[in-house]
Structure 1
Amino acid sequence: MRRTLLAFTLASLFTLPTLADEARPTPTAKELLAQSRPQEWRTPDPKNLLDMKLPGGHVLIELAPDFTPLHAANIRTLVHEHYFDGLAVVRVQDNFVTQWDDPAADDEDKAHTRPLGSAKPTLPPEFTRAIDPKLEWTPLPDGDVYAPAVGFSEGFPVARDPATGREWIAHCYGTVGVARDVGPETGNGSALYAIIGQAPRALDRNLAVAGRVLDGMELLSALPRGPAPMGFYEDKSRRVTIESVRLAADMPKAERPRIEVLRTDSPTFGKLVEARRNRRDAFYAVPAGKVDLCSIAVPSRKAK
């Protein structure tokens, strides 16, 4: 996705409040979204939208090919060839991640490990990418512990280091990453995880981030925690089977998930950020005056 002509900057919203502002309650997210314009919403590219069907419902994941193109391509290949169908959620570690992959691999039952088909077994690490000024960038003003600059790009929470010219997707709640062994090239997209707890930002720049969950996050975050070390299920019957994973582009148009995502370069998103930074109402008498990158969830909704 490339930058579009929306005349808006977050900096224009970050002004000192007046007495009149302090007397008015801060609009809620629901109120702000109700006032949004249709052009402030985008429809994810069907080639980058995964529909993972679990027994409890569907999880929609948007891939991030501008940040991890090799991993996105390999995941598409795995999905095209139905690699994930019948695999399972094998690990749910409290306040950390839910992970899904081939159970045989985690059981070290190598004889029954599912073949990768046409997908590549190893990939070069895509932990960061060069900053591209052509990509949409909406900065946050309050700084960050883990990076010199943070903001949003193409709907993803992104950190930047201008000194090195690199940027990367941050490990916020709902981020989907590529599991790997110790070797940096060992992650190929056949094992994925979603962040379900406090943002583990120490993982940034150490793993490739494939995308983020747009809908159905509760189906991953509310699963029973695994009792074994790192949250693995000792009892195999507790694993949640993946019924199927489909790329929206491969589905008939009538059956594709209908979802829209608020543009992070839109005025409404800027207002949502400011509402989080300086919330004022009968309960929040003292606004924080700041917000961190992972405290902001990019809204999505069913398309009309």
Structure 2
Amino acid sequence: MQERRPSHRTLALALCACAGLLTPTLALAQAAAPAPAASQPASAKPAGPAPGKKPSSADILAASKPTDWRTVDPELALQMELPAGKVIIELASAFAPVHAANIVKLTRAGYFDGLAVIRSQENYVTQWGDAEEDDAKARRKPDTLAKAPVEFSRPLKGLKLSALPERDTWAAKVGFVDGWPVAVDPKKGRAWLTHCNSIVGAARGNEPDSSDGSGLYAIIGHAPRALDLNITTVGRVLQGMDKLSSLPRGTGALGFYEKAEERTPITRVRVLADIPEAERPRLQVLRTDTATWQAWLNSRRFRGGGWFVHEPSKVELCGALPPVRSAP
């Protein structure tokens, strides 16, 4: 007999519990930790710009070289079409390989087509999937869909971390890996994607391994970092965040829409590689292992122009997500 999956309302309860909005806590059994990989050394204080005119972030990007950018793999990116427009999501296969593969399978099987955005909670998440997943009318999933393991974190070994020197509240060290915001526990040798604005995760129930990629959410508010290590993060919205963050807020519990007509329908979702090349978006993310990246970070720490009265002299992980552009 097929196990009955938790409803989206149960999934939402798990999301809120992880964020500290409800009482129950969720435990994570950590795997044996391998030796940590070498990472970029973090200085005690970031070096300031040279005397003279401070280049702006736009100046840095305008002067960037083609090699400063990485092109998004079309096999690992999705285009979700909503009535208001398109949302482009890159999948983080290096951090959640089974979930990412499942999401690609679901997309190619047309699973998401005709489903809906079922929840929009102020300063928290927008969630989409099958509102009838616990009902006889639930959408059938591909038979090849894998049983997804817990992918809350991965071994640090093998990752090239561009570490930030700034101290983080939630982790011993933070930085970026290939443009992904990452937190690290060097003692345990583990690394994980952080719940920054625009990060996409796989909704789950009370059981840590109850997600499979068929229910997804995007962070639309302030980074709820308490979710880190409690839910599998699977990607990042690269374009179209305004389409998700501007939806009417649900009036039901936890931001769920109480009536079917309040939900935003999903016209279809496609893997970018399956879109005809002439129509396919070609996006690039600023590489986070280059001198241009360090210069861009400094332009955020030491602001140019005449508007800033107080210069922050620091950046915060979720406030420094790498820029995205259409390939020239």
Same fold, TM-score > 0.5, yes or no: yes
Partner residue in 2 for 1:94: 122
Partner residue in 2 for 1:185: 209
Q: What is the rounded CA distance, in whole Å, between the counterparts of 1:125 and 1:151 in structure 2?
A: 23
Q: What is the rounded CA distance, in whole Å, between the counterparts of 2:111 and 2:269 in structure 1?
A: 8
1:114 matched to 2:123? The reply is no
1:217 matched to 2:241? The reply is yes
Q: Taking structure 1 as reference, are residues 127 and 251 closer, same or farther at Cα in structure 2, changes over 3 Å only?
A: same
Partner residue in 2 for 1:58: 86
Deviations 1:67-113 (A, max 9, x none): 000101111110110100000000000000000000213xx5x1101
Deviations 1:196-226 (A, max 9, x none): 0000000000000111011111100111111
4+ residue segments displaced more than 3 Å: 8-13, 119-122
Q: Which of 113-122 and 81-90 deviates more?
A: 113-122
Structure 2 counterparts to residues 143-292 of structure 1, below 5 A:
143-292=167-316
Q: What is the rounded CA distance, in whole Å, between the counterparts of 2:186 and 2:219 in structure 1?
A: 26
- For the Cα contact (< 8 Å) 1:280–1:287, is it kept in 2? no
Partner residue in 2 for 1:15: 47
Q: What is the rounded CA distance, in whole Å, between the counterparts of 1:197 and 1:122 in structure 2?
A: 30
Deviations 1:234-270 (A, max 9, x none): 1221211111111112222222212111111122221
Q: What is the rounded CA distance, in whole Å, between the counterparts of 1:128 and 1:9 in structure 2?
A: 22
SS at match of 2:210: coil
How far apart are residue 13 of structure 1 and its match?
9.5
Partner residue in 1 for 2:56: 28
- For the Cα contact (< 8 Å) 1:92–1:224, is it kept in 2? yes
Q: What is the rounded CA distance, in whole Å, between the counterparts of 2:240 and 2:160 in structure 1?
A: 26
- For the Cα contact (< 8 Å) 1:13–1:271, is it kept in 2? no
Partner residue in 2 for 1:4: none
Q: Taking structure 1 as reference, are residues 28 and 13 closer, same or farther at Cα in structure 2, changes over 3 Å only?
A: farther
Deviations 1:8-39 (A, max 9, x none): 98869922566x35xx3x32222211111111
SS at match of 1:111: coil
Q: What is the rounded CA distance, in whole Å, between the counterparts of 1:41 and 1:11 in structure 2?
A: 25
Deviations 1:146-179 (A, max 9, x none): 0000000011100000000000000001000000
The structure 1 residue matched to 2:71, chosen from 43, 46, 49, is 43
Q: What is the rounded CA distance, in whole Å, between the counterparts of 2:42 and 2:155 in structure 1?
A: 23
Number of aligned residues: 289
Q: Name the amino acid aligned to 1:239.
A: R
Q: Which runs of 5+ in 2 are unaligned?
A: 1-39
Q: Name the amino acid aligned to 1:58.
A: K
Q: What is the rounded CA distance, in whole Å, between the counterparts of 1:121 and 1:228 in structure 2?
A: 32
- Report the identity percentage: 46
How far apart are residue 285 of structure 1 and its match?
2.4
- For the Cα contact (< 8 Å) 1:90–1:100, is it kept in 2? yes
Q: Name the amino acid aligned to 1:179.
A: A
Q: Which runs of 5+ in 1 are unaligned?
A: 1-7
SS at match of 2:55: coil
Q: What is the rounded CA distance, in whole Å, between the counterparts of 1:256 and 1:11 in structure 2?
A: 41
SS at match of 1:147: coil
- For the Cα contact (< 8 Å) 1:280–1:286, is it kept in 2? no
The root-mean-square deviation of aligned C-alpha atoms, in Å, is 1.9
Partner residue in 2 for 1:3: none
Q: Taking structure 1 as reference, are residues 267 and 10 closer, same or farther at Cα in structure 2, changes over 3 Å only?
A: farther
Q: What is the rounded CA distance, in whole Å, between the counterparts of 2:257 and 2:311 in structure 1?
A: 42
TM-score by length of 1: 0.90
Partner residue in 1 for 2:100: 72
